[in-house]
Amino acid sequence: MSIDYQSSLSRLRARRMGTDHGKVSILETIAKVERYQKRVTTDATQYTLGAMQEVDPDYTRVSNEEALRISEALRSGLTTLGRSAEYLQQGSVPANTHIRGASDVDLLVILGEALSYDATGCLAATGWYIPWYGSLITAVGDLRVDCEGILERRYYSATVDKSKNKSIRLSDGSLKRDIDVVPAHWTDNVTYQSSQLRRDRGVHILDKSVPITSMNLPFLHIDQLETGDRATDGGLKMAIRLLKNIKADSSRRIDLSSYDMASLMWNCEPSMLTFHHGHELAVLLGTDQWLETLVNNPTFAAGLQTPDGIRKVLDEQTKFTALAAIAAEVAALRQAVATEWLPVLKSYTFAIDARSLLESVAIPG
């Protein structure tokens, strides 16, 4: 069953305004009309425009301010304990691919006392690093315990959920956003030792249930998405937001994470997603064609890598089923939009198919 776009428009607005999680009151947003709502009146087309549009910068600013507030509280508390750390965001908010006005924030708290490094790197060869002889897993575990205590003391009216294996969940109370505090340590790989660019630096995130740390390259992921977005004049991130909203509104089970969907679209040929002012429907068409290509060529799809190069995008069999599901939803949306534009199609004095129509339609505003 495909999406009911009329009812989905209210859910889309609630997500974008932050009323879906109760972080922003309906009274605060009742008079707020976004640009996509004024450009067209038909349901499927308006849904497409809204699903692609970035979240209002005012809402994103609040997310960043809340992350900074938690960072400062942790910095003060850890300094009192004689500890140091770095505080950086990862995920969809800094990548600007988030779809919720009240998006959760992922805040990395990165151990300041020690790190791991590749002994074959150029800096290691010069004796740059001082070896750490203790257990980094224990060190990050201790950092987590300290962070838990600080958050419980500073935010006693909030909910501090310590049950998650990889993060401390902070919610309610005076917080305007939910914050996931993620303890980690740096890992300096060969590439980073050569470039000295933060985008290349890895982090090891603690999973306390094992316990073990797993390596991620969150800043390379964000950087690669930014590079891809520039190559498409904004079309890549539009397509990523579109998929994330479609998944949120679909009645189908779609077992693809935000990371997976961003990675799928990052692999798309830039010319298929290039955005020209007013031509969002061409981005919808390119997204539809790309997903159709992947569904029809599973061997090719299986070879796609994530932007950070850590793994294959479709690294589990269930993800191929999910790919087919999200592709079907995008195809249904493309067909619904084309149907809304049939009067335009019929006004042409020469033959034009529905796909070509979507490529050529320019929506004012």
Per-residue pLDDT of 17-59, as tens digits, reads 888 776 665 555 655 789 999 999 999 999 999 999 999 999 9
pLDDT(1) > 50: no
Backbone angles phi, psi at 31, to 5 degrees: -95, 0
Spatial distance between the Cα atoms of 88 and 343, rounded to a whole number of angstroms: 50
Beta-carbon contacts of residue 64 (< 8 Å; ≥ 6 apart): 89, 93, 105
Query: Token pair for residue 285?
Result: 């068409």
Residue 344: pLDDT above 80?
no
How far is the C-alpha of 46 from the C-alpha of 287, rounded, in Å?
17
pLDDT score, position 273:
98
Q: Enter the DSSP assignment of 200.
A: G
pLDDT tens-place string over residues 306-322: 999 999 999 999 999 99
- Min mean pLDDT across 38-42, 227-231, 238-242, 356-360 is at 356-360
Count of CB atoms situated within 10 Å of the CB of 225: 24
What is the reported pLDDT for 201?
Answer: 98
247-270 pLDDT, tens per residue?
999 999 999 999 999 999 999 999
- Reduce the DSSP state of residue 101 to 3 states and report it: coil
Residues 6+ apart with CB under 8 A from 354: 335, 338, 341, 345
Quote the pLDDT of residue 358. Answer: 82
Contact present, 38 and 150 (Cβ < 8 Å):
no
Mean predicted lDDT score pLDDT of the chain: 93
pLDDT of residue 342: 79
Helix (H, G, I), strand (E, B) or coil at 238: helix
Lowest-pLDDT choice from 196-200, 306-310, 338-342: 338-342
181-185, 215-219, 352-356, 357-361: the lowest-pLDDT one: 352-356
Closest by Cα among 335, 251, 272, 265 to 294: 265
Whether the Cβ atoms of residue 202 and residue 187 lie closer than 8 Å to each other: yes
Environment class of 320 (CB within 10 Å of its CB; exposed 0-12, middle 13-18, buried 19+): middle
Q: 343 pLDDT band (50/70/90 cuts)?
A: confident
For the domain with range 58-216, which CATH number is right: 3.40.1190.20, 3.30.460.10, 1.10.1200.10, 3.40.630.30? Answer: 3.30.460.10
- Phi, psi angles (nearest 5°) of residue 83: -120, 160
Let me know: does 157 contact 174? Beta carbons within 8 Å. yes
Confidence band for 141, pLDDT divided at 50, 70 and 90? very high
Instruction: Give the length of the chain.
Output: 365
Rg of the Cα trace of the chain? 23
Q: What is the pLDDT of residue 261?
A: 98
Q: To 10 degrees, the CA torsion angle through 165, 215, 205, 81?
A: 160
Q: Name the residue ranges covered by the structural domains of the chain.
A: 58-216, 223-360
Confidence label for 238 from pLDDT (cuts 50, 70 and 90): very high
| Residue among 73, 42, 36, 3 at smallest CA distance from 340 | 42
Residue 91 has pLDDT above 70, yes or no: yes
Contact 47, 8 (CB under 8 A): yes
Write the DSSP symbol of residue 23. Answer: S
Rounded mean pLDDT, 198-218: 96
